[in-house]
Structure 1
Amino acid sequence: MVARNVTWLAVLVLACSAVVVGALGEEFSAVRFVSGVALLVVVTRLRVPAPFEAVFSVAVTVAFWCDVGRWYHRVPELDSVVHFLLTGAGSVVALFALLRGAGPELRQAAANTPRWTLTLLVGMAGTSAATLWELYEWVAEQVSPETMRVGYGDTVADLAVGVTGSLLAGALFAGASRPGAPIGSDA
């Protein structure tokens, strides 16, 4: 139950952040925080295992604050840590989103798949999510120059730590999953 409360606390922090930065005239930053609120509300509907949901929620909140507060410029290593955690926990979230929309047959197939395959599925979901995030960073930089650290080296480093985080999260998730138990269902 504590882990689920972390998500709602993150939603509250992001919503309050949107109001405050919006009141300060930073509309683009306010929109970023609102998008984080929307993302986390959707995640609560996916029935992701609580520890992964909690880590993802905290990582989303930290990522948005690091972005808006320009913390990445002050602590460059923070970017890699956030990408590792966000993509790692986000890979499990992405897998649950895919399975939720796929129907019971694919969910049951995922439940019966070998652990190494489940690890790779989570890793691929995270790699896809990391790629989409890097596209978001590029678009954000085009809309509001100098707000993001982008470039070839940064993108490759972000993807490398993201893939690593995804595979580790996949191994943790696969190790914690009971063979044959439903994955991503309402049961």
Structure 2
Amino acid sequence: MRGTTVEHLLLPGDVVRAAVAVSVVVGGATFGGPAAALFLLVLGGALVPRLLGLRTVLDVCFGSCLLLAAWAALLRWYEAVSWLDLLVHAVCTGLVAAVGVLALVRSRVVAPWASGWRRAGLIVTTTAVGALGAVLWELGEWAGYTYVDDEIRVGYADTIGDLAFGLLGALAAGVVIAVWRPAQDSDDAR
């Protein structure tokens, strides 16, 4: 494969993105236009790790979690398994927070850890990005319920629970990133 770079190879995350693309068609044909729109949103999100060149494990976990969350909603798994909604909010929000912080670092909106970030600052920033993601997710659920499909489950208790578990997931992601990041921070190396 002379002259081929990693960017041109099919990566495991691309398999997940292909599954999302198939879901746009299958979900749309089975459940209608709102389902197709949901999977198009998931596809847009699943493209972010590829565009940022993030590590394969994060790429696959991120896209798979978004895909699972969408199918679980359409197939009413959240109604069948009472704790699944909170688990998905925690895991997906944590992954959104991780990808979001890495996107901010790569685009130089925030300073990378190699520039002197302390672990606590990284945890707080990741948690804040996740909190924003959780709020936007809940606004999306409300908008979906209000304007698209009144079967989307919303309500005070659901929203507060989703936000709480999303925040916990974002905090956990911040801790993981702070612990696993490269030991390039000269303040931490002392």
Q: TM-score range by the shorter chain?
A: 0.7 to 0.9
1:84 to 83, 86, 90: 90
1:119 to 118, 123, 130: 123
1:60 to 1:174, Cα distance in 2 relative to 1, 3 A: same
CA contact (8 A) 2:45 2:63 kept: no
Task: Give the equivalent residue in structure 1 for 2:177.
Answer: 173
Task: Give the equivalent residue in structure 1 for 2:74.
Answer: 68
Aligned-residue CA RMSD in angstroms? Answer: 2.2
2:157 to 153, 165, 169: 153
CA offsets per residue over residues 40-64 of structure 1, 9 Å max, x none? 1123112334333322111101011
Query: Greater shift after overlay, 78-87 or 68-77?
Result: 68-77
2:152 is equivalent to residue 144 of structure 1: no
State the one-letter code of the partner of 1:46: L
Task: Give the equivalent residue in structure 2 for 1:12.
Answer: 18
Query: Greater shift after overlay, 10-19 or 78-87?
Result: 10-19
CA contact (8 A) 2:24 2:39 kept: yes
1:132 to 1:149, Cα distance in 2 relative to 1, 3 A: same
Cα distance between partner residues in 2 of 1:121 and 1:30: 33
1:23 to 1:123, Cα distance in 2 relative to 1, 3 A: same
Task: Give the equivalent residue in structure 2 for 1:184.
Answer: none
1:72 to 1:110, Cα distance in 2 relative to 1, 3 A: farther
1:179 to 1:131, Cα distance in 2 relative to 1, 3 A: same
State the one-letter code of the partner of 2:130: G
Q: CA deviation at 1:111?
A: 4.4
State the one-letter code of the partner of 1:159: L
State the one-letter code of the partner of 1:23: A
State the one-letter code of the partner of 1:42: V
Structure 1 residues without counterparts, runs of 5 or longer:
182-187
SS in 2 for 1:48: coil
Task: Give the equivalent residue in structure 1 for 2:107.
Answer: 101
Query: Greater shift after overlay, 137-146 or 81-90?
Result: 137-146
1:175 to 1:57, Cα distance in 2 relative to 1, 3 A: same
| Greater C-alpha Rg | 2
| TM-score normalized with structure 1 length | 0.85
SS in 2 for 1:102: coil
Greater length-normalized contact order (CA 8 Å, ≥ 6 residues apart): 1
